[in-house]
Amino acid sequence: MRVSFTTVFTDTLPPVDPAIEELKGWCRRFHDQGLTPSYDGGSLGNLSFRPEKRKNSFIITASQLELKDNLTADAFVRVHTCDSNRGIVHASGAREPSSESMLHFEIYKARSDINAIFHGHCAPILERAEEMDLAVTSREEAFGSSALVRRVLEMLDDHTFVVMKNHGFLALGADMESAGELALRVHGECSR
Ligand SMILES: [Zn+2]
């Protein structure tokens, strides 16, 4: 998915943070579980964490990245801030940040309790969302669009698991472990 915003890079070096190793592990697990299927040379799905609590900057997987084992340092980009109205993302890294960076940014801004956001694609979750009583957005919106961001924010409330209609899911957590385990649990329950 190509990005629908303009990225202003403050630095072209990839971010350095010890927790990136943990994020790499979750990228591998999501890939292994089929939660980030391949698409157009990359993978559908994007994972991020907030290194410093209560700041809105975060580290996220790059755009058009194939999520797999042994990701290199340039697979991750730090987003410092977003200007959603003007469609500008301020970032540092060697690649474009994920096309859903605006969505991650607005969720971190709205929810100080959330420090990890994992987005994946999973057919059984979409198919069984209502039966399993999951929170679902009111209508389908284009990937990476500001309409999608608004659609999620209008129903986000204090949910930690959100299904984006006909698209994918967002698993949110106070840390990466909570977000990741939640995604794997719902995936398991919907795949039974
Ligand atoms: Zn998606």
Asked, for residue 166, whether it belongs to a domain, the answer is: yes
What confidence score (pLDDT) does residue 70 get? 81
Gap from CA of 17 to ligand 1 centroid (Å): 25
Contacts (Cβ under 8 Å, ≥6 apart) of 3: 63, 89, 96, 97, 98, 99, 101, 144
Q: At what angle do helices 176-191 and 20-32 cross, to 10 degrees?
A: 10
- Domain span at residue 55 reads 6-191
Gap from CA of 167 to ligand 1 centroid (Å): 6
**For residue 179, what is the domain's CATH number?**
3.40.225.10
Asked, for residue 1, whether it belongs to a domain, the answer is: no
Asked, for residue 41, whether it belongs to a domain, the answer is: yes
Instruction: Please write the tens of the pLDDT for every residue from 144-189.
Output: 999 999 999 999 999 999 999 999 999 999 999 999 999 999 999 9
What confidence score (pLDDT) does residue 99 get? 93
Asked, for residue 162, whether it belongs to a domain, the answer is: yes
Gap from CA of 51 to ligand 1 centroid (Å): 23
Asked, for residue 161, whether it belongs to a domain, the answer is: yes
**Domain count along the chain:** 1
Please list the ranges in the chain whose pLDDT falls under 50: none
What confidence score (pLDDT) does residue 38 get? 87
What confidence score (pLDDT) does residue 2 get? 62
